Amino acid sequence: MKVIIAENYEDGARKAADLIEQIVREKPDCTLGLATGSSPVGMYQELARRCREEGLDFSRVHSVNLDEYVGLDGTHDQSYRYFMNTNLFDHINIDKNHTYVAKGTGDIEANLKEFNEILDRTDIDIQVLGVGPDGHLGFNEPGDTLYDGAHEETLEDSTIEANKRFFASKEDVPTRALTMGMGNIMRARRLLMIISGNKQEAATKLLIGNKIDPHCPCTFMRMHRDATVVIERKLAEEIGYRG
């Protein structure tokens, strides 16, 4: 695993954007696996700036997102479809018909089938990841068993706690979500994780030690042959990571 130490959030955003830019320039028709959450927002802003000011071209790029809440329509301001539109897609020259975020309302079984069919025929060039405080990836929550393909998850209380800051109250946070499975994530050609915020426990398990632990799904990243982690210096120092 390659670990990049960033001086601060903005520096991390630029360094992560460098990797995405390199892939988009080398392969203009690449497929990006994208993530939501506050960690990648700065990178999305930087990519939008490079599109606007430096001609970084997304016109042939496709994307697929990690996850979506069950119960929120794509027009809901806390849905991940809405997040992607407002944080990235509306600001770059990507064709929205080439972007896929699973649907969280309607026939959930049918939505999952569609999600899996799309993942089965998609070769993700790079998967962007944040990490939950409990080590979840997408919405793959800690447990004795992790899943290969896209599936529905019941969210841990700690996940609902962590995500309630985006909602009016904790009761408004959906309790279920559709997510890519760990297999889908691990089959991406490259992984790019941005660790930001209070993620001491997950960062320690990921970066220090040698365990692959289903009770901390992000540790599976250690097994990927082309994984990059961007972490802020402050957090790296807090957990005693020395490289």
CA distance readout (Å), 35 to 168, 209, 242 = 22, 26, 27
In the complex, what is the shortest distance from the CB of residue 163 to ligand GLP, in angstroms, rounded to a whole number? 6
The angle at the Cα of 27, spanning 68 to 63, to the nearest 5 degrees, equals 10
Q: Which is nearer to ligand GLP, 12 or 130 (CB)?
A: 130
In the complex, what is the shortest distance from the CB of residue 35 to ligand GLP, in angstroms, rounded to a whole number? 5
In the complex, what is the shortest distance from the CB of residue 211 to ligand GLP, in angstroms, rounded to a whole number? 20
How far, in Å, CA of 145 to CA of 155, rounded?
15
Asked if residue 138 binds ligand GLP (CB under 6 A), the reply is yes
Asked if residue 140 binds ligand GLP (CB under 6 A), the reply is no
Nearest to 137 by CA among 220, 196, 24: 220
**DSSP-assigned beta bridge partners for residue 148:** none
Cβ(218)–Cβ(205) under 8 Å? Answer: yes
Contact window for ligand GLP (CB under 6 A) among 32-40, 94-102, 104-112, 213-221: 32-40
Contact window for ligand GLP (CB under 6 A) among 11-19, 29-37, 110-118, 183-191: 29-37
Contact window for ligand GLP (CB under 6 A) among 9-17, 34-42, 107-115, 210-218: 34-42
Phi first, then psi: what are they for 103, rounded to 5°?
A: -90, 130
The single residue among 58, 139, 220, 241 that binds ligand GLP, judged by CB under 6 A, is 139
Q: Which is nearer to ligand GLP, 48 or 102 (CB)?
A: 102
Contact window for ligand GLP (CB under 6 A) among 110-118, 126-134, 209-217, 235-243: 126-134
Burial 190-206 (b: 16+ CB within 10 A, else e): bbbbbbbbebeebbbbb
CA distance readout (Å), 238 to 8, 14, 204, 230, 234 = 14, 22, 9, 15, 6
The single residue among 31, 65, 140, 163 that binds ligand GLP, judged by CB under 6 A, is 163
Contact residues for ligand GLP, defined by CB under 6 A = 35-39, 66-67, 130-132, 138-139, 159, 163, 197
